[in-house]
Structures are given as structure tokens and as C-alpha cells.
Amino acid sequence: MSHEKTRAAAFPVDRNDAELIRGAHPPHWRNPDPTGPYNLVVIGAGPAGLTAAREAASLGAKVALIERSLIGGVCINVGCIPSKAVIRTARLYADMRDAGNFGGDTPKHVRVDFQRAMTRMRQIRQRISRADSAESLASGGIDLYFGEARFSGPDSILAAGQTLHFRKALVATGAHARLPTIPGLTEAGYLSNETMFDLAECPRRLLVIGGGQLGCEMAQAFCLFGANVILAQRDPMFLPGEERDAAQILSDALAREGVEVRLNTEVVAVRTVGGKKLADLVRDEETTTISVDEIVTGIGRSPNVDGLDLENAGVVYDANGVKVDDYLRTTNPRIYAAGDVCLEHKFTHTAEATARIVVRNALFFGRGKLSELVVPWCTYTDPEIAHVGLYPTEARQNGVPVKTYTVLMHDVARALTDGEEEGFVKIHVREGSDRILGATVVAAHAGEMINAVSLAIRSGMGLHALADVIHPFPMQAQGIKMAADAYRRTRLTSFWKQLAGRWLAWSRR
């Protein structure tokens, strides 16, 4: 049984968690008695399931929502929210140590209070989870069931001993941390996102396995809390998939802050000696052994498909999750899927966006398509790395010629005033046009900045139009406008330049 399934039992760590459970899985909750078929039965109350259930119910559908653990899913309980809250406090400590660079005095003793940081995280998590408490869902007209759901037929689901019949169903069961197959790791013990936010003390020495988003975010945060962090990544770069120079800036930032960066490195064995975890790391056939207090794994996420008896409903799935078509319909036309259980890009915003498509397609003859979504994403390190649309390599593979407009953040006034000048804005257009193919932003507020480009792509605006947008001055998003200005300057052809020059010469007479 995965830890995630048992979280309701594993909590509470403190009174914030106790409060959270009262809202997200009330101990004495009485499941409703099902009456007649539902328009929509949703399995999983994470971002995808909650969005679908709320939206369908608000449109008058008879909706059931089944959750085996805590309402809010990974995002609120063991994902986005706790990680971002912890990162914020870690940054505070980084800023304190950096006070000298801002004309301030660095405090003599920056004492890290890890427990207070974790308490703050729990307070925030509890506050955010209130919005989707069991009570509020029920009062929103949703039949909420707690229990493990599984399909008993093509139009029925079994949950907590009751059979729920449906016209349409949504599988929104999310994903769980993938465990690396490293001999000795399970015996030695490890942390994943499902357990690391329960830590009472900051480990002195920490090995993070995996240099994807989770690994990089957590390695940086724990390093800023004062842990001695070793980040091991099998690939030659962090954030595989991102543009190389973006990943390089992150790699340099991590190293500068004190993370021991081990690229091209595989963790091949773990064992415990005298209370310490010893890990064997191999690079270029050379083995080194390190001793750490804790090991965090962040090598990816696997869809939650086990135990759903999808075979009973004729729903096809594999190791990548439930198979869906572009309309998010599974191989059973009554059943749809949304979120991490079926998507390659496992994010809260994609979970919510796909859930909205499902409600329209499943209940109202909609024809919303997954392929039409414009999906940005962001890695919340310092600097942040955000991306939307195509990467230049993808475009070229599809035979699309690419022209890139680049602005370095050290040329953006606000980045300088704020001492956040690392990074760049890169906007890729189809060569010979202003059609935006994609963009990567590496900056302190890249996640906010990328939204202008997402909006432009979504609404079919070209880069030319972004040059017309007036920004309050000074803003870091000016980097986007500067890239658009660079494009516009290329449109000033020599013919128009000559004409303008002649006109101005004439008007001086």
C-alpha cells in the first residue's frame, strides 16, 4: 500500500493537520446513499476531480465524487502547496545571508528554524484546503464518498461497499512518486514528496536522487535551510527537456549556493551503517560512496491505475496511464480521464484544464481537444525557469524554421534594481513571420512573465502585437516587450528606413 493511501491515517503532525483532516477527510463522515444513476461520477478529489465535480454540479448535473484519502490530492497535501511554502521560507534565509548585496547588514547569526518553517507550511496548507472541504463540496450539491473506488462494470463503480451507476465517469486518480530500483534503498529508508513534508528536522546531509523539477526545487530549498545537499542526476543536465542554457544557469545557481552537483551520476546501491545511509554513486565507471542522513527520491511520477479494475469497464491503460483520445475519452466512450493519470505534462493547471474539457465533452456534446491547450509550466527554483509552446528543436524536427529573439535579464532595469539579473527571455517565432512558436524565460519571476506569451499564443497574437503592450515601468516583464521590440526593429526594412530618412531630411528644410 502506498504511503499516499494511508495519509489520512498518518496525519496529523500538528493541530493544523488535525484541522486539515477535519475538512479534507472528516473522521465521522457518512457517505450518502446512491439514488439512481449519476450524470457524472468522478474518482479522485485532486485538482482534476474537484474542478470537474464543482463545474458539473454548478451546471445542474447529479454528481458523485469519490476520494480514498484527502480532498485536494497531491497538489494541496503533498505537492505544489507545501513545496512552494517551504521554498518561500528557504528564500528568506537566502535573502538574509545576501543582505550585504542590497546595502543591508547580514545578521551575525542566521539561525534556521526548520520547525517554524514547517509549521508555517502546515498553516498555509490548511488554509488553502478549507476552500474544498467535505462540507463545502456537499453543500455545493456533490455526493461525496470516502473510500477506494473500482469499476464493477462498464457503467458502475464500487465505493465503500456501495454501487454507483453512471451515465458518464471521470478517472482523475492522479499519480504517485516513482521509486528508483536501487538495491538497499527500501531497506535503508527514503523520502518522497509523500513523506518529506512530515520532516521534523532538517537533515544535515541529504542526497536528492533526480534532477527534474521536484529534485531541483527541493535540493535548492534544503540547501538554503542549511543542509549539505548532494544532487545526483543520471543525465548530463538538470531538467531534461528544457533548453540547455536554461538548465545550465540553474546548474550554476545550485552549485553557487552550495549544492554538490553530481551530473552523469547514477546511484547504484544504498545501505545503512551505524545509523547513516551510505550510497554508492557511479560516474564514468568510478564509484564513490557518500554518507547521508536522508535520501529524497524525485525521479518521476507513475499514474494511479492499480486497483481500479479498469478491465471491468473496458478501459485500456499502460505504464504511462489511462489511454485517452484527443477528447479525453477512454476506450469506454462513457468514461473519460483527466489530470496526472493520463497526461504527459503532470501539473495542477493541466489537470484543471483537462477536467473542464471533460465536463463539456462528456455532458454537453462539447468537442474540446487536449491538443488545443496552450500549456505553460514553471520550475520554482531561483531563478525560475518557465516555458510555453514548442522548443526550437521540436519545431525544427517538424520542419518549421525558427528565429529566436533573446533578451538578457541584466539588460532589464527592474532585474537590476532588484538584484535579480540572472537569466533571459527567449521568444521563438516562425522565421519570416511573427507567429510565436514558444518561449523560455529564466528569471526571478519567470512563472509570472511567461503568462503574456501564453496569452499571445492562445489568442493568436503575433510577437508584433506584444511590442504594442505598455508595461508599467520598471517591471521584469519588460524583458518580454524588449524581445518583441527586437522583432519589430527587424521589420523596419531598408526601403522604409530610406523613405523615413528622406522624409525627415526634407522636413528639416
> Which stretch in 20-28, 65-73, 247-255, 269-277 sits in contact with ligand FAD by CB under 6 A?
65-73
86 binds ligand FAD (CB under 6 A): no
438 binds ligand FAD (CB under 6 A): no
How far is 302 from 39, CA to CA, in rounded Å?
A: 29
According to the 3-state scheme, what is the secondary structure of 389-435?
Answer: ECCHHHHHHCCCCEEEEEEEHHHCHHHHHCCCCCCEEEEEEECCCCC
> Which stretch in 33-41, 61-69, 408-416, 485-493 sits in contact with ligand FAD by CB under 6 A?
61-69
143 binds ligand FAD (CB under 6 A): no
State the pairing for strand pair 402-408/424-430.
antiparallel
Buried-state track 302-325, b at ≥16 Cβ within 10 A, e below 16: bbbbeebebebbebebeeebbebe
SS3 263: coil
419 binds ligand FAD (CB under 6 A): no
| 126 marked ligand binding residue | no
**Nearer to ligand FAD (CB atom), residue 3 or residue 403:** 3
Residue the block writes with cell 547521508: 292
80 binds ligand FAD (CB under 6 A): yes
148 binds ligand FAD (CB under 6 A): yes
160 binds ligand FAD (CB under 6 A): no
Q: Output DSSP code: residue 329.
A: B
Cβ(171)–Cβ(315) under 8 Å?
A: yes
SS3 476: coil
> Which stretch in 25-33, 126-134, 342-350, 491-499 sits in contact with ligand FAD by CB under 6 A?
342-350
Closest separation in Å from C-beta 448 to ligand FAD: 13
**Nearer to ligand FAD (CB atom), residue 52 or residue 232:** 52
Closest separation in Å from C-beta 342 to ligand FAD: 9
**Nearer to ligand FAD (CB atom), residue 279 or residue 322:** 322
348 binds ligand FAD (CB under 6 A): yes
* Rounded alpha-carbon distances, angstroms, from residue 97 to 83, 94, 279, 423: 21, 5, 31, 21
**Nearer to ligand FAD (CB atom), residue 24 or residue 483:** 24
Which of 37, 316, 80, 269 minimizes the C-alpha distance to 169? 37
Closest separation in Å from C-beta 72 to ligand FAD: 7
What's the grid cell of residue 294?
Answer: 536522508
361 binds ligand FAD (CB under 6 A): no
Interface residues with ligand FAD (CB under 6 A) are: 43-49, 66-69, 73-75, 79-80, 83-84, 148-149, 172-175, 193, 214, 304, 307-308, 339-340, 346-349, 351, 380
